[in-house]
Amino acid sequence: MARKVSGLLVVLVFWAAGAMAQVTGLVDEWPRGRVFLASGDSVTGKITYHRSEDLVKIVKPDGSVVAYAPVAVRGFEAIDNDGRYRRVFVTQRWNLGNDYSDFLAPAFFEQIVIGNYGLLRRETMTRRDISRDPMYRGGYYPYGNYPMGGPVYVDQRTDIYFILLPSGKVKELRNVKKDLETIYGKKGGAMKTYIKQNKLKYTHLPDLAKIVSYLGTISQPEVKTTKLDM
Protein backbone atom coordinates (compact mmCIF):
# COMPACT_ATOMS: atom_id res chain seq x y z
CA MET A 1 0.00 0.00 0.00
CA ALA A 2 1.35 3.40 -0.92
CA ARG A 3 2.27 5.59 2.00
CA LYS A 4 0.16 8.64 2.61
CA VAL A 5 1.59 12.04 1.92
CA SER A 6 1.94 14.02 5.14
CA GLY A 7 3.76 17.02 6.50
CA LEU A 8 3.69 18.88 3.19
CA LEU A 9 1.72 21.89 2.10
CA VAL A 10 -0.09 21.45 -1.19
CA VAL A 11 -1.62 24.68 -2.40
CA LEU A 12 -4.78 23.43 -4.10
CA VAL A 13 -6.11 26.62 -5.63
CA PHE A 14 -5.64 25.69 -9.27
CA TRP A 15 -9.25 25.90 -10.35
CA ALA A 16 -10.00 28.93 -8.19
CA ALA A 17 -7.36 31.27 -9.61
CA GLY A 18 -9.81 33.01 -11.91
CA ALA A 19 -12.10 33.80 -9.03
CA MET A 20 -9.24 35.42 -7.12
CA ALA A 21 -7.80 37.80 -9.65
CA GLN A 22 -8.77 40.12 -12.42
CA VAL A 23 -6.72 38.86 -15.35
CA THR A 24 -5.55 40.86 -18.36
CA GLY A 25 -2.85 39.29 -20.52
CA LEU A 26 -0.02 38.54 -18.13
CA VAL A 27 -1.09 41.07 -15.49
CA ASP A 28 -2.98 39.79 -12.44
CA GLU A 29 -4.70 41.90 -9.80
CA TRP A 30 -5.92 40.88 -6.35
CA PRO A 31 -7.88 43.06 -3.92
CA ARG A 32 -5.45 42.45 -1.09
CA GLY A 33 -2.19 40.80 -0.25
CA ARG A 34 1.17 41.16 1.42
CA VAL A 35 4.69 41.57 0.06
CA PHE A 36 7.49 40.21 2.24
CA LEU A 37 10.63 42.24 1.63
CA ALA A 38 14.19 40.98 1.73
CA SER A 39 14.85 43.53 4.48
CA GLY A 40 12.47 41.66 6.80
CA ASP A 41 9.66 44.23 6.54
CA SER A 42 6.32 43.63 4.83
CA VAL A 43 3.82 45.79 2.95
CA THR A 44 0.07 45.16 2.65
CA GLY A 45 -2.47 46.40 0.13
CA LYS A 46 -3.88 45.74 -3.32
CA ILE A 47 -1.55 43.52 -5.36
CA THR A 48 -0.75 43.79 -9.08
CA TYR A 49 1.63 41.23 -10.56
CA HIS A 50 3.19 42.01 -13.94
CA ARG A 51 4.40 38.59 -15.03
CA SER A 52 6.26 39.64 -18.19
CA GLU A 53 8.33 42.20 -16.27
CA ASP A 54 8.51 40.03 -13.11
CA LEU A 55 7.37 43.01 -11.09
CA VAL A 56 4.92 43.24 -8.20
CA LYS A 57 3.14 46.49 -7.37
CA ILE A 58 1.17 47.18 -4.23
CA VAL A 59 -1.27 50.00 -3.45
CA LYS A 60 -0.88 50.71 0.24
CA PRO A 61 -3.82 51.77 2.46
CA ASP A 62 -2.72 55.41 2.21
CA GLY A 63 -3.03 55.28 -1.58
CA SER A 64 0.68 55.31 -2.37
CA VAL A 65 2.02 52.83 -4.90
CA VAL A 66 5.32 50.97 -4.66
CA ALA A 67 6.84 48.42 -7.04
CA TYR A 68 9.35 45.69 -6.28
CA ALA A 69 11.59 43.45 -8.34
CA PRO A 70 12.37 39.90 -7.13
CA VAL A 71 15.80 40.95 -5.83
CA ALA A 72 14.08 43.05 -3.14
CA VAL A 73 11.39 40.51 -2.20
CA ARG A 74 11.37 37.18 -0.35
CA GLY A 75 7.85 36.48 -1.60
CA PHE A 76 4.29 37.69 -1.65
CA GLU A 77 0.80 36.35 -1.11
CA ALA A 78 -2.42 37.31 -2.87
CA ILE A 79 -5.85 36.87 -1.28
CA ASP A 80 -9.37 37.12 -2.68
CA ASN A 81 -12.09 39.33 -1.16
CA ASP A 82 -13.50 36.83 1.33
CA GLY A 83 -10.17 35.26 2.21
CA ARG A 84 -11.06 31.78 0.96
CA TYR A 85 -8.23 31.50 -1.56
CA ARG A 86 -4.61 32.41 -1.18
CA ARG A 87 -1.84 32.19 -3.77
CA VAL A 88 1.76 32.27 -2.63
CA PHE A 89 4.71 33.44 -4.72
CA VAL A 90 8.34 33.08 -3.68
CA THR A 91 11.65 34.39 -4.98
CA GLN A 92 14.11 31.75 -6.20
CA ARG A 93 17.37 32.07 -8.09
CA TRP A 94 17.08 30.66 -11.60
CA ASN A 95 19.16 30.39 -14.78
CA LEU A 96 16.32 32.00 -16.78
CA GLY A 97 15.95 28.86 -18.88
CA ASN A 98 19.58 28.77 -20.03
CA ASP A 99 20.89 25.41 -18.80
CA TYR A 100 24.33 26.17 -20.21
CA SER A 101 24.82 29.24 -18.05
CA ASP A 102 25.96 29.46 -14.44
CA PHE A 103 24.32 32.87 -14.07
CA LEU A 104 21.39 32.78 -11.66
CA ALA A 105 18.96 35.67 -11.28
CA PRO A 106 16.14 36.08 -8.75
CA ALA A 107 12.66 35.46 -10.19
CA PHE A 108 9.11 35.02 -8.89
CA PHE A 109 7.57 31.54 -8.83
CA GLU A 110 4.14 30.47 -7.66
CA GLN A 111 4.57 27.96 -4.86
CA ILE A 112 2.41 24.88 -5.40
CA VAL A 113 4.07 22.30 -3.14
CA ILE A 114 6.39 22.79 -0.18
CA GLY A 115 8.55 19.89 0.90
CA ASN A 116 11.79 18.02 0.36
CA TYR A 117 10.93 18.50 -3.31
CA GLY A 118 8.95 21.60 -4.21
CA LEU A 119 6.68 22.24 -7.18
CA LEU A 120 6.78 25.74 -8.66
CA ARG A 121 4.99 27.41 -11.54
CA ARG A 122 5.41 30.38 -13.85
CA GLU A 123 3.05 31.49 -16.60
CA THR A 124 3.82 32.80 -20.06
CA MET A 125 1.81 33.83 -23.10
CA THR A 126 1.90 31.77 -26.28
CA ARG A 127 0.16 32.01 -29.65
CA ARG A 128 -1.75 28.96 -30.83
CA ASP A 129 -3.29 28.16 -34.21
CA ILE A 130 -6.87 27.15 -33.43
CA SER A 131 -7.97 26.69 -37.04
CA ARG A 132 -7.12 22.98 -36.79
CA ASP A 133 -9.08 22.36 -33.60
CA PRO A 134 -12.09 20.04 -34.04
CA MET A 135 -14.45 22.55 -32.40
CA TYR A 136 -13.27 25.30 -34.72
CA ARG A 137 -13.63 23.16 -37.84
CA GLY A 138 -17.11 22.20 -36.67
CA GLY A 139 -18.22 25.82 -36.82
CA TYR A 140 -18.08 26.55 -33.10
CA TYR A 141 -15.37 28.14 -31.02
CA PRO A 142 -15.84 29.93 -27.70
CA TYR A 143 -13.52 32.84 -28.61
CA GLY A 144 -15.95 34.05 -31.28
CA ASN A 145 -16.69 33.65 -34.97
CA TYR A 146 -13.57 33.53 -37.11
CA PRO A 147 -13.49 33.42 -40.91
CA MET A 148 -12.81 29.95 -42.34
CA GLY A 149 -9.62 29.29 -44.30
CA GLY A 150 -6.04 29.92 -43.28
CA PRO A 151 -4.51 29.84 -39.79
CA VAL A 152 -6.26 31.60 -36.92
CA TYR A 153 -4.17 32.46 -33.89
CA VAL A 154 -5.21 33.23 -30.33
CA ASP A 155 -3.05 34.23 -27.38
CA GLN A 156 -3.34 32.00 -24.37
CA ARG A 157 -1.61 31.50 -21.06
CA THR A 158 0.70 28.54 -20.71
CA ASP A 159 1.93 27.02 -17.46
CA ILE A 160 5.62 26.23 -17.04
CA TYR A 161 6.45 23.91 -14.15
CA PHE A 162 9.64 23.67 -12.13
CA ILE A 163 10.86 21.39 -9.40
CA LEU A 164 12.80 22.76 -6.45
CA LEU A 165 15.45 20.15 -5.64
CA PRO A 166 16.68 19.43 -2.10
CA SER A 167 19.92 21.20 -3.08
CA GLY A 168 17.96 24.41 -3.64
CA LYS A 169 18.38 24.29 -7.41
CA VAL A 170 15.36 25.19 -9.56
CA LYS A 171 14.98 22.83 -12.52
CA GLU A 172 12.51 23.48 -15.34
CA LEU A 173 10.31 20.51 -16.24
CA ARG A 174 10.27 20.84 -20.01
CA ASN A 175 8.82 17.33 -20.37
CA VAL A 176 7.13 16.86 -17.01
CA LYS A 177 6.80 13.07 -17.02
CA LYS A 178 10.19 12.33 -18.54
CA ASP A 179 12.10 14.84 -16.42
CA LEU A 180 10.47 13.68 -13.18
CA GLU A 181 11.16 10.03 -13.96
CA THR A 182 14.84 10.97 -14.33
CA ILE A 183 14.75 12.67 -10.93
CA TYR A 184 13.11 9.64 -9.28
CA GLY A 185 16.27 7.59 -9.75
CA LYS A 186 16.16 4.49 -7.54
CA LYS A 187 12.74 5.51 -6.25
CA GLY A 188 11.22 5.08 -9.70
CA GLY A 189 9.55 1.79 -8.83
CA ALA A 190 7.85 3.19 -5.73
CA MET A 191 6.75 6.30 -7.61
CA LYS A 192 5.26 4.35 -10.52
CA THR A 193 3.36 2.12 -8.09
CA TYR A 194 1.96 5.13 -6.23
CA ILE A 195 0.94 6.88 -9.46
CA LYS A 196 -0.71 3.75 -10.85
CA GLN A 197 -2.56 2.86 -7.66
CA ASN A 198 -3.94 6.38 -7.31
CA LYS A 199 -4.62 6.82 -11.07
CA LEU A 200 -2.68 10.08 -11.20
CA LYS A 201 -1.91 12.04 -14.36
CA TYR A 202 1.11 14.25 -14.97
CA THR A 203 -1.07 16.57 -17.07
CA HIS A 204 -3.51 17.32 -14.20
CA LEU A 205 -2.11 19.89 -11.78
CA PRO A 206 -3.68 18.55 -8.54
CA ASP A 207 -2.34 15.11 -9.49
CA LEU A 208 1.08 16.54 -10.28
CA ALA A 209 1.13 18.21 -6.87
CA LYS A 210 0.41 14.85 -5.21
CA ILE A 211 3.18 13.19 -7.22
CA VAL A 212 5.80 15.75 -6.18
CA SER A 213 4.57 15.69 -2.58
CA TYR A 214 4.88 11.91 -2.43
CA LEU A 215 8.37 12.06 -3.91
CA GLY A 216 9.33 14.43 -1.12
CA THR A 217 7.81 12.12 1.49
CA ILE A 218 9.66 8.97 0.45
CA SER A 219 12.88 10.94 -0.04
CA GLN A 220 13.06 12.15 3.54
CA PRO A 221 16.27 10.98 5.24
CA GLU A 222 15.70 8.16 7.66
CA VAL A 223 16.16 9.01 11.34
CA LYS A 224 18.36 6.50 13.11
CA THR A 225 17.31 5.60 16.63
CA THR A 226 19.21 4.08 19.52
CA LYS A 227 17.99 2.16 22.49
CA LEU A 228 18.05 5.42 24.49
CA ASP A 229 15.67 7.02 21.96
CA MET A 230 13.13 4.22 22.23
Range of the domain at 88: 25-113
On whether residue 132 sits in a domain, the answer given is no
Whole-number pLDDT of residue 1: 43
The CA-atom distances, in angstroms, between 72 and each of 1, 27, 31, 35, 59 are 45, 20, 22, 10, 17
- The DSSP call for residue 5 is P
Domain membership of residue 70 (yes or no) is yes
Coil, helix or strand at residue 109 = strand
Distance between CA 61 and CA 63 in Å, rounded?
Answer: 5
Q: How many domains does the chain have?
A: 1
What angle (nearest 5°) sits at the alpha carbon of residue 33, between those of residues 30 and 34?
145
Would you state the pLDDT for residue 85? 85
- Spatial neighbors of 205 by CB under 8 A, at least 6 apart, are 14, 112, 159
- Judge whether 118 lies within some domain: no
Domain membership flag for residue 201: no
pLDDT of residue 56: 97
Q: What is the pLDDT along the chain (230 residues), one digit of tens a residue?
A: 444 443 334 433 333 344 345 555 689 999 999 999 999 999 999 999 999 999 999 999 899 999 999 999 999 999 987 777 899 999 999 999 888 888 999 999 999 999 999 999 999 887 777 666 666 555 554 555 545 556 777 778 899 999 999 999 999 999 999 999 999 999 999 999 999 999 999 999 999 999 999 999 998 765 454 444 43
Does residue 178 sit within a domain? Answer: no
- Say what the pLDDT of residue 150 is: 66
Position 180 in a domain: no
Beta-carbon contacts of 216 under 8 Å, excluding residues fewer than 6 positions away, are 8, 113, 115, 116, 117, 118
CATH number reported for the structural domain that contains residue 82 in this entry: 2.30.30
Q: Is residue 148 part of a domain?
A: no
Q: What is the CA radius of gyration of the chain?
A: 21
Residue 223 lies in a domain: no
